[in-house]
Every structure is written in structure tokens, then in C-alpha cells.
């Protein structure tokens, strides 16, 4: 008697239905770098988001299957999305993605609140929502008046409850650094794996020689603490070049000395040369991860970083850079005075940067998705 094959579940060897979720698409930064890689990995997956500013985002996004919430119709939201902060949890709570097998959220806000039903929800956590879990620090940096701060505290308490509850429904958390892993444990009571964000390290190469300027590439917003570097280099009288723009730029320009140069937004095509020719890269604030310091090392240049956050993962003190440990202009200035970039082997920097290459990210993310509970053996499309 010939043996017959057992009847297999319908999902075996069937395409995996996967959805991507992102907080908002009205500005470009590190979160969007991650999203672009995820879209390239899973080109058939739709992207669910709260809002999408078509004219303000890269033209390549127009070919994506982007699906927005009702918030996309609110007045002025593309340029001024912060006044609508209370609405984001409500908007994402209304998204029912239970028809998918896997939901992969790319989260720094509230997008992990989507309803997933039996779908496996993997949250790639850029950070637990910063203004919720570090409200006092956020309010101080944003100069929120004391009366408004007090009025907002009950709302922040409500948002914390909502955020925590949503985190308990996530099947698996993935953190972008040890710093974020610790925050996920502290705020959500959840464990997480670490997969570092993707960096196109192959775009960067060491130059035969370098110039004398120090470099920052960043959005100019208060929490990045660019003010520490502006003050330190103005006092030192050393050249500091700052590439990037943001609402903090007028304040920074007003306090800058003549040796500090603001380039504004720089095309991606100009970044490799800008990194390769700097004397050293400067990271003055606490980053959740920090792609620019990795790019600098891929270009063979060392990093002077505040010794906290993602820099603890990306910079090797004594080999690819140096840490300063007090968030003050004086501490940064002392690190600049005592650190000799010529003592660093550019190839050590390049080798260290390779740990964060995009291919490593893709391999690790795909493995986590394909090993989702109950979906082993399926193909991701």
C-alpha cells in the first residue's frame, strides 16, 4: 500500500502577507532610512502610516503602496504635526491589520498600537516614545513653560498607559542599540533582541589626506545638543562644519563664533567626501543609535562622542575615537584638545563600521520575520 502525504496547512510554502507600519512621513531622518531598507526588502508590503506629505518626501516614495489614516486630512499637519500628538494613538488604534500574517512596525511614536489580531507583530523599536517617557527632559529642551508643563502631565500619564498597553500586545521587540534595549525593558517590561540599523557603508571610503575641520551631520533640533559643540568650538577657535537644518538653527547661528560654518541641508552625494576629509566627527548628544558616526568611521575618520546612548555600541574608545562624559562645552573642548586623530588607524574605523552594514541588517531582519511563530517555512514577498 502506497503511503500518502499528510495534508499540510494552507500556509505552508504560501507567500507571507506582510505589512509595514511607520509613524509619519512628513520629514526624512534615520527612521526613514530604516523604512527605505524595509521597503526594498519587502517590495510587495504596503506601508501604513498616519500622514504622508507627498510633496515633502523623496520622489521615490511615490511608487510605494502608502496607506494613511484620517489624520492625513487634518489642516497644517504636514508642517506642524506636533500639536496633534494626542491623535496619533487614536489613529493607529483604528488600523486593523489582522488580515496579514506578519506586521512589522518601525516605531518611535505610537504606530505599534495597530490592531493585529492573530498576525505576528514584530516591533523594530527606534525608541520608546521619547516625549512620553522623558517628558521632563523633553519639556526642558523645548522650553515649554511651567504652567503648560503642569497642565500636560495628566495627558502624559494617559499616553504612558496607552503606550505601555500597546507594547504588551507586541509579539517581539527588536531594539536598535543597547540603550534602546534598556529603555524597552525599563518602560515596557519587555525583553528584546538587538539589530543595528542599516548603514550603506560601501558608499564611504577613506581619503588619501584630510582637512582640519571637525564635522557634524545632523538635524538641528534641541535634543541633539549641537549647542555644546557650537560653544566648545567657538571657544577653541577651531573649525567646525555643521551639515543639516532644523528649527534650532537660528539659535545655534546666533551663538556661533566665526570658526563655525553652517552648510544647511547637504545632498547625499556630497556626504562621502565631506566625511572623508574631516579631521574627526563630533557627536555631542545622546543618540538612540547614530548613523552618522558609523558613516564617518566607514570613511576612515574617528569620532569624538558623548559617552552614552548608541555611541557605546558604535565607537571603540582608544581605537576608533574617544568619549567625553559630561554634557558640557568644557568637557567636549577638553576631549578635542587631548585627542589626536592621527593616532587612529583609518582601517580600524572601516572594519568597525562594517559591523553595521546594510547587508547585516537585512540578513538579521529577514531571519526574524521568517522565523515568526507559526510561519516557519514560508516565503517572504
pLDDT tens digits, one per residue of 187-232: 999 999 999 999 999 999 999 999 999 999 999 988 899 999 999 9
Rounded to two decimals, the pTM is: 0.86
- Give the bridge partners for 241, in sequence order: 215, 261
Given a contact cutoff of 8 angstroms between Cβ atoms, the answer to whether 311 and 305 are in contact is: yes
Could you tell me the domains of the chain? 15-198+359-380 (3.40.50), 201-355 (3.40.50.2000)
Q: What is the pLDDT of residues 63-79, one digit of tens each?
A: 999 999 999 999 999 98
Q: How far apart are CA 140 and CA 142, in angstroms?
A: 5
Enter the C-alpha cell of residue 268: 547625499
Residues 226 and 79: their CA atoms lie apart, in Å, by 23
Alpha-carbon gap, residue 208 to 95, rounded angstroms: 52
- Residues 124/181, Cβ–Cβ less than 8 Å: no
**Locus of grid cell 524595509:** 38
CA distance 106 to 174: 10
Q: Are 179 and 308 in contact (CB under 8 A)?
A: yes
CB 352 within 8 A of CB 297: yes
Q: Which long-range contacts (CB under 8 A, 24 or more apart) does 71-79 make?
A: 77/26, 77/51, 78/26, 78/51, 78/53, 79/26
- What distance in Å separates the CA atoms of residue 240 and residue 214, rounded to the nearest whole number? 5
Angstrom CA distances, 161 to 113, 116, 168, 169, stand at: 12, 19, 11, 13
Q: b or e along 148-164 (b: 16 or more beta carbons within 10 Å of the residue's beta carbon)?
A: ebeebeeebeebbebbb
Question: For every one of its 381 residues, what pLDDT tens digit does the chain have, with 9 covering 90 and above?
Answer: 343 434 444 444 457 899 999 999 998 888 999 999 999 999 999 999 999 999 999 999 999 999 999 999 999 999 888 788 889 999 999 999 999 999 999 999 999 999 999 999 999 999 999 888 988 777 776 677 778 888 888 888 999 999 999 999 999 999 999 999 999 999 999 999 999 999 999 999 999 999 999 999 999 988 899 999 999 999 999 999 999 998 899 999 999 999 999 999 999 899 999 999 999 999 999 999 999 999 999 999 999 999 999 999 999 999 999 999 999 999 999 999 999 999 999 999 999 999 999 999 999 999 999 887 654 444 444
Q: Compute the distance between CA of residue 337 and CA of residue 236 in angstroms, rounded to an integer.
A: 9
- Name all contacts of 329-334 with Cβ < 8 Å and 24+ positions apart: 329/228, 329/229, 329/231, 329/232, 329/235, 330/232, 332/228, 332/229, 332/232, 332/282, 332/284, 332/304, 332/306, 333/232, 333/233, 333/235, 333/236
Amino acid at each position: 500500500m502506497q503511503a500518502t502525504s499528510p495534508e499540510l496547512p494552507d500556509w505552508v510554502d504560501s507567500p507571507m502577507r506582510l505589512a509595514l507600519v511607520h509613524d509619519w512621513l512628513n520629514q526624512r531622518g534615520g527612521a526613514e532610512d530604516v523604512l527605505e531598507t524595509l521597503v526594498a526588502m519587502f517590495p510587495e508590503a504596503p506601508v501604513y502610516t498616519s500622514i504622508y506629505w507627498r510633496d515633502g518626501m523623496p520622489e521615490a516614495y511615490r511608487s510605494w503602496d502608502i496607506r494613511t489614516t484620517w489624520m492625513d486630512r487634518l489642516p497644517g499637519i504636514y508642517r506642524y504635526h506636533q500639536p496633534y500628538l494626542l491623535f496619533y494613538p487614536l489613529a493607529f488604534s483604528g488600523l486593523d491589520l489582522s488580515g496579514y500574517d506578519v506586521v512589522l512596525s518601525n516605531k518611535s511614536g505610537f504606530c505599534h498600537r495597530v490592531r493585529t489580531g492573530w498576525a505576528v507583530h514584530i516591533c523594530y523599536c527606534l525608541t520608546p516614545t521619547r516625549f512620553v517617557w522623558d517628558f521632563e527632559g523633553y519639556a526642558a529642551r523645548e522650553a515649554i513653560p511651567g504652567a503648560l508643563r503642569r497642565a500636560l502631565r495628566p495627558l502624559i500619564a494617559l499616553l504612558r498607559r496607552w503606550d505601555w498597553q500597546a507594547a504588551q500586545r507586541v509579539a517581539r521587540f527588536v531594539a536598535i542599540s543597547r540603550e534602546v534595549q534598556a529603555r524597552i525593558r525599563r518602560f515596557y517590561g519587555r525583553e528584546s533582541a538587538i539589530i543595528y540599523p542599516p548603514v550603506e557603508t560601501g558608499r564611504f571610503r577613506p581619503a588619501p589626506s584630510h582637512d582640519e575641520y571637525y564635522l557634524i551631520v545632523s538635524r538641528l533640533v534641541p535634543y541633539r545638543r549641537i549647542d555644546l559643540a557650537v560653544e566648545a568650538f567657538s571657544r577653541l577657535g577651531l573649525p567646525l562644519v555643521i551639515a543639516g537644518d532644523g528649527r534650532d538653527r537660528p539659535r545655534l547661528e546666533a551663538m556661533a563664533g566665526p570658526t563655525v560654518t553652517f552648510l544647511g541641508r547637504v545632498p547625499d552625494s556630497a556626504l562621502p567626501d565631506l566625511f572623508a576629509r574631516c579631521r574627526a566627527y563630533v557627536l555631542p548628544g545622546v543618540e538612540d543609535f547614530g548613523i552618522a558616526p558609523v558613516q564617518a568611521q566607514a570613511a576612515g575618520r574617528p569620532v569624538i562622542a558623548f559617552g552614552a546612548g548608541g555611541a557605546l555600541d558604535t565607537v571603540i574608545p582608544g581605537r576608533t575615537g574617544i568619549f567625553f562624559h559630561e554634557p558640557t562645552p568644557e568637557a567636549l573642548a577638553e576631549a578635542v584638545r587631548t585627542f589626536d586623530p592621527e593616532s587612529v588607524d583609518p582601517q580600524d574605523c572601516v572594519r568597525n563600521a562594517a559591523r553595521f552594514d546594510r547587508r547585516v541588517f537585512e540578513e538579521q531582519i529577514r531571519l526574524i520575520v521568517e522565523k515568526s511563530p507559526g510561519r516557519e517555512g514560508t516565503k517572504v514577498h
